[in-house]
A and B are shown apart, each in its own frame.
Chain A
């Protein structure tokens, strides 16, 4: 594999730096699926490049061979309907080469596909991701309902554990795509799709909806955090807890606003009266890396901006601009920041 990466890496490295290469890029091997993608891609690239070189060499030799014909446009008499026997043989040979190359590639593709499908065989962790315009609703399935965990826009996975992701959609067609981990799979209303992946590296990766799904398609991002198994369990148990009770007066004012006013109509916060199911779950909002489906990094300034006027940040999204008074805004942000 290393040598494959050595072939691939210079291309983007020539273009820019290289720290992003494992973040949202197919040039990574952070999961088994992407590894076989890379192997297969290199095989295809090499064969296709060889074909290209052949064609271009043929073209260049053909056009320089006779030199410039000048303006003497004489048709060579009576000869031009005869076909060059060398070329006849060449045509047969070329057809055979192309055919053989394609058969080889088709077989490689078939086995690549098989190996990916086999990796899906034994699931250890089951997650349902539901697409919404324009965010991801994530549910960790468990036999015990009290252990079922609902979160949004940030997927945590334990390294080395095969995870089976069930893909559903609430509205239009979306496509689940985390380039560093796996190929894409569509979320189609009325159809049950799924994808399996085995993360191999600890790290943070970014994915994005890959099927046009409306006006904010560009801002339907997904953060995937691959942890060690122990860290994952720690995260998991923490996420199962209810939201902490606010302690400062400002946060308490925010709590009152969020649970009794517009926010609670759409959003749920575990352990509080806010139980809307229309928008992302906010129980541990402040522990996530981003807000607005991967659009903004999570920090106080961005929270202010987002809560105050989401329509200027993500025009057309379903989060309305509520029109908070300044003191309400301070209170709401203060409360949201306690939702670690």
Chain B
């Protein structure tokens, strides 16, 4: 009886409250624009100050910046290790660094560069730039993004603290069983490596999910898949690749190797029916796509730079996209070319030879498209463009030696020699680090608001380019003269003295060049000329906002009508309005056509991602020492995740209206 009377009463109250709220809700639009809008947005989006705010932030720009800086610090550390190795190898029969320490050096160098530098720096740049480039106010899942950074940081810290404590991994970045098994790798060296991998895989997976979802759902209205910038395409393919590749290595280290070492399971013990090769299969099923996970974002950088500095959209946009996608697919079909010497069936080898070679087709087409863009356009030789030209000179050599190594009979000779070392440094430094430094110079004004010094940049480019060739070209010969990889010394009299000495000299020239680059970046932070929003006169959306961008990215969400919006619209960007300014909100669009779909509330800053990362990190670190860490450690993890995802009392807001 009473209920029937109260229900209409409640509904009436609700309606009244909603009507009041509706009056309060402020949206951007013709009425609310310019400085007034910016001030209100700033108030809504700004994070709390202080260390708590620093830990709690969900701003993709802040997280991206941390990612980039941390990854570059690891690059420098990995580089120092490389210099120490080159010193040891400068002359034959050198005993400067002992065998055990040298093993730690090359294991740390590989692990740091692959897991702590190359992938995270690409993710970091993606996390920073992608929302700006596609016209979004935030990434999808910003808290997951924050979590991902802390996981990555903890993994890196663990590895390097272990190094300082003389517990660093010492059986390579690949850790083949049984060498990494309980009997031949006593102590905790290998476990440190295995769990560091897991930290960084969790971080990379989280970041990949964030980026894939952002790219698919948060693009500005009108930015259909066909109009999506090539860098966004590259990051999309890379993200999907990470999602498929990384679980394999996380599985093989944490679920198979650690139990073998910790509780005596027999996954890799041939004597009890396990298989040592299982590790290699699973490792390379991740390990080969990993190379493309690093390389594809770099091709995105190249596309961006070529486009801006040749004053042309990249030639044959759709071909480049198809090349990216097919590279991503092919990358999963050629892991066995790392295992040609393991005695697998020869028929299978032929398949992997062909698959490995066929990757050269999409890559070759991409290179053609860049060159055709230069052909048609008017190249301007600023520092980023120089890096692209250096990239083509260098990377193509690496790609072609890759084709050479894909042939089984040739690979059986050159596998695990310095020829391979030369090959993958040409691919990874030439193919990824050169474009990275170019894009760093290119986006530096966007991130910091100031330009890097041009002539200093050119000087460091030339030193880097020439030093690199001096360091790595002779390694082709060291390999063919019979020098295997991962040796801490080599005998005199095999003809290896000169190539190794040249490599060492080259390595120091490279170090000098990188040092110059770092000095340039640090000095320009204060002294560089002020950039303005679009110093390069570039075509994509990140240049439509101020440098550095405001915390909310775009005051009005831009609308896009072509691949190169800033070039085609004479500076007047059409916008959509109607997002709330009193709460953090972003616009989601449909996956293919990018028509406005719904408004999505953006989470407030929260400490829980940090706490969850700590909890998960403690489980990982402690499970090195005891299996009991897993059940007991899951309790704090569960608490942290529950608190993180605790349903919020949502106010019932009026339906979204996009005007």
Q: Is any CB of A less than 8 Å from a CB of B in the complex?
A: yes
Judging by beta carbons under 8 Å apart, are A27 and B481 in contact? yes
- In chain A, positions 204-222 with a C-beta closer than 8 Å to chain B are 206, 208-218, 221
A63 within 8 A of B: yes
A20 within 8 A of B: yes
Stretch in contact with the other chain, from A53-61, A235-243, A246-254, A280-288: A53-61
Judging by beta carbons under 8 Å apart, are A173 and B179 in contact? yes
What A residues does B311 contact at CB under 8 A?
Answer: 69, 73-76, 80
Name the one of B375, B381, B481, B484 contacting A12, with C-beta atoms under 8 angstroms.
B481
A244 within 8 A of B: no
- Minimum CB–CB distance from A243 to chain B (whole Å) comes to 29
Name the one of A18, A37, A80, A188 contacting B410, with C-beta atoms under 8 angstroms.
A37
A-B contact pairs, 21 of them (CB 8 A): A12-B495, A25-B480, A27-B480, A37-B412, A37-B413, A40-B410, A55-B367, A83-B316, A91-B315, A109-B353, A110-B353, A173-B176, A179-B413, A179-B482, A183-B341, A183-B415, A184-B341, A191-B270, A194-B343, A213-B179, A218-B489
Judging by beta carbons under 8 Å apart, are A80 and B313 in contact? yes
Q: 12 other contacts beyond A212-B416, A212-B486, with CB at 8 A cut-off?
A: A12-B495, A23-B494, A26-B482, A36-B409, A40-B407, A40-B409, A48-B401, A81-B313, A95-B368, A172-B176, A183-B413, A218-B487
Once the chains are docked, how many angstroms separate the CA of A180 from the CA of B563? Answer: 55
Once the chains are docked, how many angstroms separate the CA of A34 from the CA of B271? Answer: 35
Judging by beta carbons under 8 Å apart, are B484 and A208 in contact? yes
A112 within 8 A of B: yes
- In chain B, positions 10-36 with a C-beta closer than 8 Å to chain A are none
What B residues does A173 contact at CB under 8 A?
Answer: 176, 178-179, 276
B454 within 8 A of A: no
Interface core residue of B276, B277, B407 (most chain A CB under 10 Å) = B407
- Minimum CB–CB distance from A230 to chain B (whole Å) comes to 29
A229 within 8 A of B: no
Once the chains are docked, how many angstroms separate the CA of A36 from the CA of B410? Answer: 9
What A residues does B490 contact at CB under 8 A?
Answer: 218
What A residues does B389 contact at CB under 8 A?
Answer: 59, 63
Task: Return the 4 tightest CB-CB contacts between A and B, nearest first.
Answer: A190-B270, A183-B412, A69-B378, A109-B407
Judging by beta carbons under 8 Å apart, are A184 and B488 in contact? no
Once the chains are docked, how many angstroms separate the CA of A15 from the CA of B415? Answer: 22
Judging by beta carbons under 8 Å apart, are A95 and B381 in contact? no
Once the chains are docked, how many angstroms separate the CA of A82 from the CA of B374? Answer: 14
Query: Knowing A48-B403, A84-B376, A190-B270 touch, does A214 contact B184 (C-beta < 8 A)?
Result: yes
B346 within 8 A of A: yes
Once the chains are docked, how many angstroms separate the CA of A194 from the CA of B343? Answer: 8
Judging by beta carbons under 8 Å apart, are B276 and A209 in contact? no
- The closest CB in chain B to the CB of A55 belongs to B396
- Per DSSP, are chain B's interface residues mostly helix, strand or loop, or mixed? helix
Name the one of A33, A84, A208, A212 contacting B179, with C-beta atoms under 8 angstroms.
A212
Interface core residue of A21, A94, A133 (most chain B CB under 10 Å) = A94
- In chain B, positions 113-169 with a C-beta closer than 8 Å to chain A are none
Interface core residue of B275, B491, B562 (most chain A CB under 10 Å) = B491
- In chain B, positions 51-82 with a C-beta closer than 8 Å to chain A are none
Query: Knowing A106-B357, A173-B179, A179-B413 touch, does A26 contact B480 (C-beta < 8 A)?
Result: yes
Name the one of B270, B341, B562, B564 contacting A189, with C-beta atoms under 8 angstroms.
B270
Interface string of B390-410 (1 = CB under 8 A from A): 001100110011011011111
Which B residues lie at the A interface, using CB under 8 A?
98-100, 103, 170-172, 176, 178-179, 184, 270-271, 274-277, 311-313, 315-316, 319, 341-343, 346, 349-350, 353-354, 357-358, 360-361, 364-365, 367-369, 371-372, 374-381, 389, 392-393, 396-397, 400-401, 403-404, 406-417, 474, 477, 480-482, 484-491, 493-495, 497-499, 537, 562-564, 567
Judging by beta carbons under 8 Å apart, are A45 and B404 in contact? yes
Judging by beta carbons under 8 Å apart, are B350 and A52 in contact? no
- Minimum CB–CB distance from A168 to chain B (whole Å) comes to 11
What A residues does B491 contact at CB under 8 A?
Answer: 221, 295
Interface core residue of B341, B358, B376, B497 (most chain A CB under 10 Å) = B341
Name the one of B99, B358, B537 contacting A215, with C-beta atoms under 8 angstroms.
B99
What A residues does B353 contact at CB under 8 A?
Answer: 106, 109-110
Once the chains are docked, how many angstroms separate the CA of A11 from the CA of B478? Answer: 11
What A residues does B400 contact at CB under 8 A?
Answer: 48-49, 51-52
Stretch in contact with the other chain, from A97-105, A137-145, A155-163, A267-275: A97-105
A259 within 8 A of B: no
What A residues does B316 contact at CB under 8 A?
Answer: 83, 87-88, 91
Once the chains are docked, how many angstroms separate the CA of A65 from the CA of B373? Answer: 12
Query: Knowing A25-B481, A172-B184, A216-B99 touch, does A109 contact B375 (C-beta < 8 A)?
Result: no
Interface core residue of B376, B392, B411 (most chain A CB under 10 Å) = B376
Judging by beta carbons under 8 Å apart, are A186 and B495 in contact? no
What B residues does A66 contact at CB under 8 A?
Answer: 377-379
- Minimum CB–CB distance from B129 to chain A (whole Å) comes to 21
Judging by beta carbons under 8 Å apart, are A102 and B357 in contact? yes
Query: Knowing A188-B277, A214-B179 touch, does A25 contact B392 (C-beta < 8 A)?
Result: no
Query: Knowing A17-B495, A20-B493, A55-B392 touch, does A37 contact B409 (C-beta < 8 A)?
Result: yes
Once the chains are docked, how many angstroms separate the CA of A113 from the CA of B369? Answer: 35
Once the chains are docked, how many angstroms separate the CA of A193 from the CA of B494? Answer: 28
Query: Knowing A17-B495, A41-B410, A316-B99 touch, does A218 contact B488 (C-beta < 8 A)?
Result: yes
Name the one of A68, A90, A208 contacting B368, with C-beta atoms under 8 angstroms.
A90
Judging by beta carbons under 8 Å apart, are B350 and A110 in contact? yes
Judging by beta carbons under 8 Å apart, are A69 and B379 in contact? yes
Query: Knowing A26-B414, A40-B409, A172-B184 touch, does A193 contact B567 (C-beta < 8 A)?
Result: no
- The closest CB in chain B to the CB of A82 belongs to B376
Judging by beta carbons under 8 Å apart, are B409 and A183 in contact? yes
- The closest CB in chain B to the CB of A172 belongs to B179
Name the one of B354, B357, B374, B564 contacting A63, with C-beta atoms under 8 angstroms.
B374
Once the chains are docked, how many angstroms separate the CA of A36 from the CA of B495? Answer: 23
What B residues does A179 contact at CB under 8 A?
Answer: 413, 482
What A residues does B358 contact at CB under 8 A?
Answer: 102
- The closest CB in chain A to the CB of B99 belongs to A215
- The closest CB in chain A to the CB of B365 belongs to A95
What A residues does B369 contact at CB under 8 A?
Answer: 91
Query: Knowing A171-B178, A179-B482 touch, does A184 contact B380 (C-beta < 8 A)?
Result: no
- Minimum CB–CB distance from B171 to chain A (whole Å) comes to 7
What B residues does A11 contact at CB under 8 A?
Answer: 477
What A residues does B313 contact at CB under 8 A?
Answer: 80-81
Judging by beta carbons under 8 Å apart, are B275 and A20 in contact? no
Query: Knowing A52-B400, A206-B482 touch, does A212 contact B380 (C-beta < 8 A)?
Result: no
Judging by beta carbons under 8 Å apart, are B184 and A98 in contact? no
Once the chains are docked, how many angstroms separate the CA of A58 from the CA of B368? Answer: 9
Once the chains are docked, how many angstroms separate the CA of A97 from the CA of B52? Answer: 59
Once the chains are docked, how many angstroms separate the CA of A191 from the CA of B413? Answer: 21
- Minimum CB–CB distance from B38 to chain A (whole Å) comes to 28
A62 within 8 A of B: yes
A117 within 8 A of B: yes
- Minimum CB–CB distance from B100 to chain A (whole Å) comes to 6
Once the chains are docked, how many angstroms separate the CA of A91 from the CA of B407? Answer: 26
Judging by beta carbons under 8 Å apart, are B493 and A16 in contact? no
Judging by beta carbons under 8 Å apart, are B404 and A185 in contact? no
Judging by beta carbons under 8 Å apart, are B495 and A212 in contact? no
What A residues does B413 contact at CB under 8 A?
Answer: 26, 34, 37, 41, 179, 183-184
Judging by beta carbons under 8 Å apart, are B276 and A190 in contact? yes
What B residues does A206 contact at CB under 8 A?
Answer: 482, 494
What B residues does A55 contact at CB under 8 A?
Answer: 367, 371, 392, 396
- The closest CB in chain A to the CB of B184 belongs to A172
Query: Knowing A55-B371, A99-B361 touch, does A69 contact B412 (C-beta < 8 A)?
Result: no
- The closest CB in chain B to the CB of A317 belongs to B99
Judging by beta carbons under 8 Å apart, are A84 and B178 in contact? no
- The closest CB in chain A to the CB of B319 belongs to A91
Judging by beta carbons under 8 Å apart, are B486 and A217 in contact? yes
What A residues does B319 contact at CB under 8 A?
Answer: 91
- Minimum CB–CB distance from A318 to chain B (whole Å) comes to 12
Name the one of B364, B368, B481, B563 contacting A24, with C-beta atoms under 8 angstroms.
B481
